[in-house]
Chains A and B, each alone.
Chain A
Amino acid sequence: MASNLIDALFIFMLACFIGFEVIRHVSPLLHTPLMSLTNALDAIAVVGAIVLVGERKSTFATVLGFIAIVAATSNVVGGFLITDRMLKMFKSSRPVKK
């Protein structure tokens, strides 16, 4: 258990560094879609909620898990959808030069 915990901390630390490096290079142009995309990715928390509902350990846990799945799924679907709509709008002037 203790080694698991340390592993997890290492993973967290590395992921933070990767996050900083990757996001630093995102153009300010795309900061809004970036936020909606990270939001959609963050909704991977749905995985935890699915396990909670699927294992049916207690009614209380199942009810909370059910609401959690609904909330997270709406972020997944809505987040990807709006990010895609936003990115579709970003056009360069070069290829469509008239």
Chain B
Amino acid sequence: MTDFAGSQYAIEIIYLIASALFILSLKWMSSPATARHGIWAGEIGMVLAIAGTLLRHGIVDWKWIIIALVLGSGIGIPLGMVQMTAVPQRTALSHAFGALCVTLVGTAEFYLRTPTVPRFMMSVLSMEVILGSLTFTGSLMAAGKLQEILPQRPITYKGQNVVNLGMLAIAVATAVYLVLHPEAKQFFPVMVAIPLVFGVFMVIPIGGADMPTVISLLNSYAGLSAAAMGFVLDSKLLIIAGALDGSSGLILSVIMSKAMNRSFTNVLFGAFGQVQTAAAGAQEAKPVHSATPEESAAILAAANKVVIVPGYGMAVAQAQHKVRELYDLLTKKGVEVRFAIHPVAGRMPGHMNVLLAEADIPYDRLIEMDEINGDFPQTDVALVIGANDVTNPAARTDASSPIYGMPILDVDKAHTVMVIKRGMSPGFAGIDNPLYYLPNTLMLFGDAKQFVGAIVRELSGGH
């Protein structure tokens, strides 16, 4: 018995070290210079924790554990090797996997413990299972939308919020009943099934541009459900890891919704869909100035300071490598080129940074919104590639605009604004962008990749 207690202590110490490594891992993520140490710390912590668990006294069957570990690694490797443009959907998918694991473990724990489950344990177990299952289907939906298997536009219908809140209420009521009567195991499947459906319905009304907030929120839920699982299993390591993940997701969602000037409830319950029809109707033909690649190249070559504003359109057109060529050519000509990154540009937090880093653009050229906004009046050319709503000056000036109050990149203050865009159709939010009609704006109509490519040819040929 003393031997058992001894090994038990050893395992707890291993978990303690793993917890410290996890915290360090996140701490080192604060700067790109130390971030890769963070991965090592995380990996070592993870290996220690898994090894420690395998040493536990109660473990009698290793065969299936090993098979599952190998199988999981086999699935994980291709998921870790996806293209950088597929990172948002991969992230959503991994939230789904994490939530699946938590839900399954919670379910198994319930059936092992029923009919006598202490009330507190049943409460956290319910939280674990409800959060886990809604995150599972919600994340699958998000991944489907991002992969464009499912339609990206928000789908709304009358009474949507009532239906959604109703479902959530039923799930919570079931949980309360189970806390009071843990022997009523026939109700447990209800508590799993309803959040599964809720997860689908929750993401249906959410459109592509709101994905950064939703992914962050799902990240937070996945973390919180893991922390709840830590309470159920009395695992401090799991509580800590879950709390870290949960707070990380929460911080990111707060940053994202601030960057869109919207509250959580607004993102989750107030799809932009309703606003769209009204705004789209107000559209009329106004004169715009357009320019050819030759003209654009000449303007860029004559500039001293250029700020490139990338958006989701750049990712869709896969234009980042062409943008990199443009960056190289202009830098060689002595033009100062920087990139202005709006927090919600793209489909997940930090999406643009990863794409541009993949294209070998140094990270010290990628400037956050607050930092670069003051520089636009001194900027010769602001080149907007595939971004729309985040550059819409109506957010600053037009109190009737649905995006009024949202922080934007002040590209309109640059001497010349060039916007690469396929056509005049409004962006995701369906809001007309007055930027396009300004006298200092030039519209460059075409596919982002081809247009940037044409500018690059012009610049390199004309030299």
9-residue interface stretch from B283-291, B352-360, B451-459: B352-360
Q: Are A16 and B246 in contact (CB under 8 A)?
A: yes
Q: Are A31 and B241 in contact (CB under 8 A)?
A: no
* Min distance, Cβ A94 to any Cβ of chain B, angstroms: 7
A39, B226: Cα distance in complex, Å:
11
Contacts A27-B31, A42-B242 given: A47-B104 contact, CB under 8 Å?
no
* Min distance, Cβ A66 to any Cβ of chain B, angstroms: 5
Say yes or no: is B42 at the interface (Cβ < 8 Å to chain A). yes
- The residues of A that contact B46 with a CB separation of less than 8 Å are 40-41, 43-44, 76, 80
- The residues of B that contact A45 with a CB separation of less than 8 Å are 98, 101-102, 105, 226, 229, 238, 241-242
Chain B 210-250, CB-CB to A under 8 Å as 1, else 0, gives 00000110010011001101110111111111111111110
Contacts A1-B118, A61-B111 given: A15-B36 contact, CB under 8 Å?
no
A22, B91: Cα distance in complex, Å:
21
Q: Are A60 and B64 in contact (CB under 8 A)?
A: no
A72, B238: Cα distance in complex, Å:
13
* Min distance, Cβ B167 to any Cβ of chain A, angstroms: 24
* Min distance, Cβ B250 to any Cβ of chain A, angstroms: 8
Q: Are A52 and B105 in contact (CB under 8 A)?
A: yes
Q: Are B101 and A37 in contact (CB under 8 A)?
A: no
Chain B 367-378, CB-CB to A under 8 Å as 1, else 0, gives 010000000000
Contacts A71-B100, A76-B72, A92-B363 given: A47-B53 contact, CB under 8 Å?
yes
A44, B54: Cα distance in complex, Å:
13
A side interface size, CB within 8 A? 83
Say yes or no: is B35 at the interface (Cβ < 8 Å to chain A). yes
Interface positions, chain A 59-87, Cβ under 8 Å from B, are 60-62, 64-87
9-residue interface stretch from B82-90, B169-177, B198-206, B294-302: B82-90
- The residues of B that contact A69 with a CB separation of less than 8 Å are 65, 68-69, 72, 101
If over half of B's interface residues share one DSSP class (helix, strand or loop), that class is named, otherwise mixed; here it is helix
Contacts A71-B97, A91-B357 given: A48-B235 contact, CB under 8 Å?
yes
If over half of A's interface residues share one DSSP class (helix, strand or loop), that class is named, otherwise mixed; here it is helix
Chain A 9-41, CB-CB to B under 8 Å as 1, else 0, gives 001100110111011111111111111111111
* Min distance, Cβ B92 to any Cβ of chain A, angstroms: 10
A69, B363: Cα distance in complex, Å:
36
Please, which residue of chain A has its CB at the minimum distance from the CB of B52? A47
Chain B 26-41, CB-CB to A under 8 Å as 1, else 0, gives 1101111101101100
Please, which residue of chain A has its CB at the minimum distance from the CB of B212? A31
Please, which residue of chain A has its CB at the minimum distance from the CB of B223? A42
- The residues of A that contact B162 with a CB separation of less than 8 Å are none
Q: Are B362 and A92 in contact (CB under 8 A)?
A: yes
CB-contact partner of A39 in B95, B240, B247, B364, under 8 A: B95
CB-contact partner of A38 in B77, B105, B249, under 8 A: B249
- The residues of B that contact A12 with a CB separation of less than 8 Å are 227, 230-231, 239, 243
User: Sorted from nearest, which 10 A-B pairs have the closest CB atoms?
Assistant: A73-B72, A81-B80, A77-B76, A31-B350, A19-B247, A93-B362, A54-B59, A15-B243, A78-B79, A69-B68
Known: A37-B26, A79-B76. 18 other contacts (CB 8 A): A12-B230, A19-B243, A31-B349, A32-B91, A35-B252, A38-B248, A41-B241, A44-B18, A44-B226, A50-B65, A52-B105, A54-B60, A56-B60, A56-B61, A64-B107, A66-B68, A69-B72, A81-B79
Supply 19 A–B pairs (Cβ within 8 Å), ascending by A: A28-B368, A32-B87, A33-B35, A36-B90, A43-B46, A44-B46, A51-B233, A54-B54, A64-B107, A66-B68, A70-B68, A72-B101, A73-B76, A75-B101, A76-B76, A77-B77, A82-B80, A82-B81, A91-B362
